[in-house]
């Protein structure tokens, strides 16, 4: 084909192509075309607006505050190792010598098989838990939940920039589920505390933590309610006055930060209310004012010095006001007053209604608990009480939980929390009847070493620890002070004959 022919063919092809492009819309008038528009640098800040402190309309933007807060929230991994023996079951090893002959080898053969066939783990069983923590100053102090690091043999902290440190425990407070730990580092980014009393329902907040091991996760929501009691803490002196939020909180967020839009810490994320174990719309945080008090005590004294009124209470509502024929329909009703308590000394009586504490109105039991929890033994508070048609002003001096106006020693507080029990000295007439020199009664049991590893019952009277005679709670605390390894306690029950032995490890 000649060059001229190529040229003519090209002209024809071009004309045909242009004709098809022109004719297509005419032949298919309903044909659709896909139009895609691309925008560079699309704005992200102007989707929502809010009012600042001067009532000025400003864009609602979480980016700056999220970036600021994430550097102060850490990931915590706690490791707990449980040791087992491959030779014999733990129950057999814990039996005191007088009973070992009774449980012969044929007993274990019957239930566990011959010694060479018994199945017991040869290796230590390692349990790993994860959670979050908040750096509260530049010297490496971190606040988290007690349940995140409880019974841990090893605590590992990972910062937002992936630096990893080992942490030591400064102190714990099961009553509020808080703990203070420290890593050996300076110059860390920390979060400032704000006054949680000033936090308002409906206020925007961010929850920052590590849910499901998803590091540095930020969620947004509002404060849904305050002074919530959800009965989740199992400590005998549990204090629950949570800030409730709808910012998504999941397992792993425990110990993380709940902050306002200025980056101030208003609470430590602690719990969720959920039928599934995952986020269902309700999360709860310990208010920063309680956190501040607990951390300060743990740092100064190694144990929380908490004041107690010594009363059982419930909030007043319309039904209670009608039932008790009260003259008020708000406040906190006194159901009972303990002996040797601060409330009894102040003249508080059953049926009284507490209306104010130091001019702060209280309407619910958690509100009163929170206010009292911020004070120490020896602190004096002014109470306004409704008694019948009268309103009285009373002054109360708080005591510790032992009914004394003094601080508790660290070791005594810690060891009793570890055991999971409340103790009291045995009365002299009871000791005389049982023909013992004295002793310590297990007044009440809670989750701890005693319930986990023994079958001890409330009412048991401890008379010896590792063969050492115990006459009172002070001697019990000293006997267990700095104790490591196995412990054998001996004692009696008032209503059962014979001596009893219980063994556990510390």
pLDDT in tens, 96-129: 333 333 333 443 344 334 444 444 455 667 889 8
Q: Give every residue of the chain whose pLDDT is below 50, as ranges.
A: 3, 6-7, 14-16, 20-21, 23-25, 27-29, 31-39, 41-47, 84-120
All structural domains of the chain, each given as residue ranges with its CATH number in brackets, are 84-117 (no CATH), 196-301 (2.40.10.10), 311-397 (2.30.42.10), 410-505 (2.30.42.10)
Classify 458 as helix, strand or coil: coil
CA angle 277, 282, 284 (to 5 degrees): 95
Residue with tokens 């087992």: 84
Please, which residues have CB within 8 angstroms of residue 183's CB and are 6 or more apart in sequence?
140, 142, 157, 165, 166, 167
Ramachandran area for residue 403 (φ above 0: left; ψ -120 to 50: alpha; else beta): left
Closest CA to 199 of 228, 179, 172: 228
Residue 97 has phi, psi (to 5 degrees) of -55, -40
50 in Cβ contact with 204 (< 8 Å): yes
Listed residue (134, 143, 141) closest to 209, CA to CA: 134
Report how far residue 384's alpha carbon sits from residue 388's, in angstroms, rounded to the nearest whole number.
Answer: 13
Q: How far apart are CA 446 and CA 377, in angstroms?
A: 24
Mind spelling out the 3-state secondary structure of 468-487? EECCCHHHHHHHHCCCCCEE
CA 268, CA 253: separation in Å to the nearest integer?
A: 9
pLDDT value at residue 410: 67
Nearest alpha carbon to residue 69 among 130, 129, 136, 166: 136
Please list, in sequence order, all residues whose beta carbon lies within 8 angstroms of the beta carbon of residue 401, skipping any fewer than 6 positions away.
Answer: 237, 306, 308, 408
Evaluate whether 51 touches 58 at the Cβ level (below 8 Å): yes
Q: Cα–Cα distance between 51 and 60 in angstroms, integer? A: 9
d(CA 362, CA 378): 21
Q: What residues pair up with 126 in beta bridges, in sequence order?
A: 81
Give the residue ranges of DSSP H helices in 228-357: 288-301, 318-323, 342-346
Query: Which tens digits make up the pLDDT trace of 184-195?
Result: 999 999 999 999
- In this prediction, residue 70 carries a pLDDT of 95
Burial class (CB in 10 A: 0-12, 13-18, 19+), 498: exposed
Taking phi over 0 as left and psi of -120 to 50 as alpha, with beta for the rest, 281 belongs to: left
Catalytic residues: 147, 177, 254
């Amino acid at each position: 084909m000649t060059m001229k022919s190529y040229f003519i063919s090209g002209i024809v092809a071009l004309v045909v192509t242009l004709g098809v492009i022109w004719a297509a819309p005419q032949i298919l008038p309903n044909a659709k075309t896909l139009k895609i528009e691309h925008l560079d640098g699309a704005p992200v800040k102007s989707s929502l607006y809010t009012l600042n402190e001067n009532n000025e309309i400003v864009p609602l933007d979480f980016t700056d505050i999220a970036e600021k807060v994430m550097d102060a929230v850490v990931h915590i991994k706690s490791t707990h190792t449980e040791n087992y023996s491959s030779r014999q079951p733990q129950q057999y090893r814990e039996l005191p010598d007088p009973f070992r002959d009774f449980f012969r080898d044929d007993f274990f053969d019957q239930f566990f098989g011959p010694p060479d066939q018994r199945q017991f783990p040869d290796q230590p069983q390692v349990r790993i838990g994860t959670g979050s923590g908040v750096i509260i100053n530049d010297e490496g102090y971190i606040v988290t939940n007690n349940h995140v690091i409880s019974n841990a043999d090893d605590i590992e902290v990972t910062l937002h920039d992936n630096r990893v440190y080992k942490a030591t425990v400064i102190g714990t407070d099961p009553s509020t589920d808080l703990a203070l730990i420290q890593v050996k580092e300076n110059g860390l980014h920390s979060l400032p505390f704000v006054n949680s009393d000033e936090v308002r329902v409906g206020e925007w907040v961010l929850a920052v933590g590590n849910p499901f091991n998803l590091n540095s996760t930020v969620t947004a929501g509002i404060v849904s309610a305050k002074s919530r009691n959800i009965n989740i803490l199992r400590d005998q002196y549990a204090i629950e006055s949570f800030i409730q939020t709808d910012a998504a909180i999941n397992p792993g967020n425990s110990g993380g930060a709940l902050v306002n839009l200025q980056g101030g810490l208003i609470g430590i994320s602690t719990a969720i209310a959920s039928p599934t174990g995952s986020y269902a719309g309700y999360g709860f945080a310990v208010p920063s004012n309680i956190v501040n008090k607990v951390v300060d005590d743990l740092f100064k004294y190694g144990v929380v010095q908490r004041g107690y009124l010594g009363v059982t209470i419930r909030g007043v509502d319309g039904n209670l006001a009608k039932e008790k024929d009260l003259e008020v329909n708000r406040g906190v009703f006194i159901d009972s007053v303990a002996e040797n308590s601060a409330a009894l000394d102040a003249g508080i009586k059953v049926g009284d209604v507490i209306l104010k504490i130091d001019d702060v109105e209280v309407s619910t039991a958690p509100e009163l608990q929170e206010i009292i929890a911020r004070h120490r033994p020896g602190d004096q508070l002014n109470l306004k009480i409704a008694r019948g048609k009268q309103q009285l002003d009373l002054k109360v001096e708080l005591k510790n939980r032992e009914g004394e106006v003094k601080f508790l020693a660290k070791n005594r507080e810690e060891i009793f929390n570890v055991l999971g029990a409340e103790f009291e000295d045995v009365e002299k007439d009871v000791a005389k009847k049982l023909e013992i020199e004295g002793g310590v009664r297990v007044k009440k049991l809670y989750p701890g070493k005693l319930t986990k590893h023994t079958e001890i019952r409330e009412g048991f009277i401890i008379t010896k620890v590792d063969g050492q005679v115990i006459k009172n709670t002070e001697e019990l605390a000293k006997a267990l002070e700095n104790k490591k390894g196995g412990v054998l306690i001996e004692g009696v029950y008032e209503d059962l004959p014979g001596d009893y032995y219980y063994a556990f490890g510390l």
